[in-house]
Amino acid sequence: MRIDLHTHSNVSDGTETPAEVIRSAAKAGLDAVALTDHDSTDGWDQAAEAAIHHGLAFVPGMEISCRTDKGISVHLLSYLHDPTHPGLLEEINKSRDARLTRAERMVTLLSEDYPLTWDDVIHHVAPGATVGRPHIADALVAAGVVADRSEAFNSILTSHSRYFIQHYAPDPALAVGLVRAAGGVPVFAHPVASSRGRIVGDKTYREMIDAGLLGLEIDHRDNPEEGRKFLRDLAAEHGLLITGSSDYHGTGKPNLLGENLTDPAVLERIEERGTGSTVVR
């Protein structure tokens, strides 16, 4: 059984609709797939319907953007949580509102040096989607400023750029606790992806585990091999689940569906622990 537990649609920063992600997953020979859009569950219904049509198991999920008190970005995957849970929903909406304000301010700065307007960015955002830097990158590509998203993120939109602005994001331990309260299964996404920026130390792992963290996404292209050994040792020490996935974004990233997979026994344990929603088959 081939299981990929980390994908994105155009509800956040992917380039395919939720139904298209599921269709692509079927073409890639997957048996089960999770849709984990950033700070949004709006694609669940469409993905579930498509999964039934294509004969796949659909795992409802979400990727929550977090930040430590040291300003380090942390991404938390949540599986099978209740999307209507008041506490989690309030925090997610707070983050989404902050993303919008941040994007508007970044575009204002960028427009001083590049042919870019807010309307240009919105053109690349699907209805109801969470606005983020990938949409700004798409607008820069369309304007001929950069060749693709990767070039935009490696230059103009890097966190070291003068155009970069932070946005509100919850503390990782708080997010873990809210996911557990919503009946979900929290898994730390690509924890040692140092190519993306600074990575957390022991204190953050300890706080997240104490708050109820249940898993680590270890088999991911952005986790270097030496980091994976550390993560496997940590998982063994604390009894954490180990997942693997693609972090698929359609044409937005080179990541391929199924390039890393999750063991079927792990999905079974996720189903056992998740009480807020269910796998659709």
pLDDT band, very low/low/confident/very high, at 271 (cuts 50, 70, 90): very high
With 0-12 / 13-18 / 19 or more C-beta atoms within 10 angstroms meaning exposed / middle / buried, residue 221 is: middle
C-beta of residue 112 within 8 angstroms of C-beta of residue 101: no
Is 80 exceeded by the pLDDT of residue 61?
yes
Say if CB 18 and CB 11 are below 8 A apart: yes
For residue range 177-231, what is the model confidence (pLDDT) as tens digits?
999 999 999 999 999 999 888 999 999 999 999 999 999 999 999 999 999 999 9
DSSP, collapsed to helix, strand or coil, labels residue 125 as coil
Distance of alpha carbon 179 from alpha carbon 210, whole angstroms: 13
Domain boundaries, the chain: 3-93+167-273, 103-154
Which residue's entry shows tokens 């204002």? 108
Coarse DSSP helix, strand, coil percentages of the chain, rounded to the nearest 5 percent: 40, 15, 45
What CATH code is assigned to 103-154? 1.10.150.650
- Say how far apart CA 137 and CA 32 lie, in whole Å: 30
Fold type of domain 3-93+167-273: TIM Barrel (3.20.20)
Give the rounded distance of the alpha carbon of 64 from its chain centre.
6
pLDDT (tens digit, 9 = 90+) per residue, 102-144?
A: 999 999 999 999 999 999 999 999 887 878 899 999 999 999 9
Q: pLDDT, tens digit, for every residue of 155-168?
A: 999 988 999 998 89
Contact between residue 266 and residue 32 where contact means Cβ atoms under 8 Å apart: no
**Integer Cα distance of 281 and 269 in angstroms:** 16
pTM for this entry: 0.91
